[in-house]
Structure 1
Amino acid sequence: MRKLLLFSAMVVVAGLAPSAAAASEGVAPQAGPTAQQLLAKTTGCKQISNGKYKTDDETGRTIAVCDAGGAVFWKADMDIDCDGQPTPRCNKNTDPWFQDGTAYPRSDGKALIADQTPYVVVPSISGTWNFEKAGLKGAGSCAVIHGGKVLYTVIGDTGPNDIIGEASYATAKALGINPDPENGGVDSGVTYICFKNSKVSPIEDHGKSTSVGEGLAAKFVQG
């Protein structure tokens, strides 16, 4: 299994009213398209990967990367990425696979903080798929959908070149998925939609990733 991140300042939750507790954390109600509207754009798959990915080391290759015009998407599991700057939740003691760096740094040059910044992990470039040639890049905008909830994130790290379906501790936490880097995650039911030629700056600003993502998602749904 791989890894994930914590709850940040703003969470986009489709179709759910924020609770008093959520409001105290600065959670904003959904302003962009609903989960259902986004998922309706991913019912078919125009495969752009040169083959399929595994969700874990021990599974078969079943996950394709699909083109959807202004975005690419894949439907997979979610493993937890806790890499980056160490915190009480993400460190070498809590995470057997912990690494203190991320492929794409914060605006201060330091690694991302997995339990603060919602981000997704894309597979390292290989013969199966080159995400950069598909129009994706570090700090690119993505929508992650699970259980009727939508969270806008960034591309923050790269992972194994044959496995797909991973996001930060913060991403999992915000979507109601167990964020434990060793035992958390979910086996299926997660849709990742990443918008082509997009960028969130600064990469660690979740408010900015939400506003950018909502705008891109609205265009994606309308298009």
Structure 2
Amino acid sequence: MRVPSLTLAAAGAALLAPAALPVPATAVPPRERPAATDEGRVTAAELLARTDTCAQVSRGRYRTDADTAATVPVCGTREAVFWKADLDIDCDGRPTARCNRRTDPLFAPATAFQQSDGRHLNAERLPYIVVPGPSRRWNQRAHGVRGGSVAAVVYRDRVRYAVVGDTGPRDLIGEASYATARSLGIPPDPRSGGAPSGVTYIVFRHSRVTPIEDHAAAVAEGRRLAGRFITAAVADLPWRAVLGHPIPR
């Protein structure tokens, strides 16, 4: 954590102070980020700036809901794929007090990927995201995305780390577990919750957490990969120029 440097004037004043009357040292308050805005050292602003330009890797675009137009592309770099969409609540998997047939009319007792003990994921407790099922539009496996892949989810000034835990319809995008929504400050109720827009999903290519339910491991790996994603921005500039994409200034 950096501490602001003394100005030359302040330094000179300190040198001129009488030796018999030493000036008591005063602690300089450190520069801190707002509390509880992220789970790591990379900020939401840094990740949003890194994903500001889209090099589309999907052959087409996705709808965020069944009754909306297909406007969301999947974008990519050498380190990650990402998209910007809404957040619908996924309460599927193991039945819990907040995720069950009574609380969620679309509840399914299974997830595409399972825990190390063979049980389906717990959407109420485990932060995970949902990716579209593989299709000609986009086959996530060809881009290094699979069950247990590590993801950073950004909403407003918050960054949360999760894993790829479920798959959804092949033409829809923008969904995450009850636990993910709650950690981002998004209403998690499967009937009335979610966010209509403004959520960025970043999945780090060829990453994987084993076992998939180890959230602490997902956070640790997410922090490391998010840092690499940010520092790789400069290295990506020549590639952007070759691909005909604008170079950020």
TM-score normalized by the length of structure 2: 0.79
| Deviation per residue, 1:47-102 (Å, 9 max, x gap) | 01111000000000000000122000000000000000000100011001100010
8 Å Cα contact 1:42/1:68 also seen in 2: no
| Structure 1 residues 174-185: aligned runs within 5 Å | 174-185=183-194
In the aligned structure 2, how far is the partner of 1:35 from the partner of 1:167?
A: 18
1:16 to 34, 38, 53: 34
Going from structure 1 to structure 2, the CA distance change for 1:85 and 1:72 (only over 3 Å counts) comes to same
Local SS of the residue matching 1:216: helix
**Deviation for aligned residue 1:29:** 6.2
Letter in 2 for 1:212: E
The one-letter code matched in structure 1 to 2:81 is V
| Paired letter, 1:113 | N
What pairs with 1:82-121 in structure 2 (closer than 5 Å)? 82-121=91-130
Matched residue type, 1:128? R
**Aligned to 1:33, what secondary structure does the other structure show?**
coil
Deviations 1:113-168 (A, max 9, x none): 00000000000011111000011110000000001100000000000000000000
RMSD of aligned Cα (Å): 1.4
**Shift >2 Å, 4+ stretches:** 28-32
CA apart distance, 1:222: 0.5
C-alpha deviation, 1:31, in angstroms: 2.8
1:65 aligns with 2:67: no
Mapping 1:118-197, distance limit 5 Å: 118-197=127-206
Contact 2:152 2:203 in 1 (8 A): yes
2:53 corresponding residue in structure 1? 44
The AA in structure 2 aligned to 1:16 is P
CA distance in 1, matches of 2:61, 2:73: 5
Query: Given the alignment of the two structures, is residue 56 of structure 1 paired with residue 88 of structure 2, yes or no?
Result: no
CA contact (8 A) 1:15 1:30 kept: no
Larger deviation: 40-49 or 168-177?
A: 40-49
Q: Which amino acid aligns with 1:211?
A: A
Aligned 8 A contact 1:143 1:151 in 2: yes
Larger-gyration structure (1/2): 2
- Which protein has greater RCO, CA pairs closer than 8 Å, 6+ apart? 1
By how many angstroms is 1:206 displaced?
Answer: 1.1
Q: Which runs of 5+ in 2 are unaligned?
A: 1-31, 233-249
Per-residue deviation, 1:32: 2.6
From the superposition, tell whether residues 222 and 122 of structure 1 become closer, same or farther in structure 2 (CA, over 3 Å).
Answer: same
Question: What SS does the aligned partner of 1:176 have?
Answer: coil
Q: Give a deviation string over 1:184-217, Cα, whole Å, max 9, x none.
A: 1011000000000000111111111100100011
TM-score by length of 1: 0.88
Paired AA for residue 179 in structure 1: P
CA contact (8 A) 2:129 2:164 kept: yes
CA distance 1:29–1:48, shift in 2 (3 Å): closer
Give the % identical residues: 51
